[in-house]
Amino acid sequence: MQLSKGYRQLIEEARTRIRTLSLDEARTLHGDPDVLFVDIRDVRELDREGMIPGAFQAPRGMLEFWVDPDSPYYKDVFGSGRQFVLYCASAWRSALAAAALTDMGLPRVAHLDGGFKAWKQSGAPVGPREHHEHGERPR
């Protein structure tokens, strides 16, 4: 089967129009009350690998619905005005997700270069999956 665009091209196109934070930039922002890290990985990945402490988990498949105030699935955390730093395992899903949220008009969206894998390998803080009600404002 011949596709007109493969996933690599979609990711590269997304990266040309989104903000990508280096690991150092992201580490500097971690803990800032005006910044919310958003883990878009599947809960099984979070249970297995852990997550960035204080991050909000929003499954990739629901992200656009959770961000849109007109959606019945809207989560008010996305109306907080905070800066959002999306991340996944390797920065592929987060690049596509950041592009989608940018296209939707959500301000202050970026993604973590290298994803959770790079974060964890750098020795940055990692904790267990945080169990909070979706839509509850994380600390």
**Six token digits for residue 104:** 């939707």
Provide the 3-class DSSP secondary structure of residue 128.
Answer: coil
The residues, any chain, with a CB within 8 Å of residue 38's CB and separated by 6 or more, are: 55, 56, 57, 58, 84, 85, 86, 87
Look at residue 132 in the predicted model and tell me its pLDDT: 60
pTM metric for this prediction: 0.92
- Around 11, how many Cα atoms within 13 Å sit in the side-chain half-sphere? 12
Look at residue 130 in the predicted model and tell me its pLDDT: 78
Task: Give the right CATH number for 7-121 from 3.30.70.980, 2.60.40.10, 3.40.50.720, 3.40.250.10.
Answer: 3.40.250.10
Nearest to 138 by CA among 92, 97, 85, 94: 85
The residue ranges of every structural domain in the chain are 7-121
80 C-beta neighbours (distance < 10 Å), count: 13
Look at residue 1 in the predicted model and tell me its pLDDT: 87
Look at residue 88 in the predicted model and tell me its pLDDT: 98
Mean pLDDT, 10 residues at a time, over the chain (139 residues)?
94 96 97 97 95 96 97 96 97 98 97 97 93 50
**Six token digits for residue 30:** 């971690």
Look at residue 15 in the predicted model and tell me its pLDDT: 96
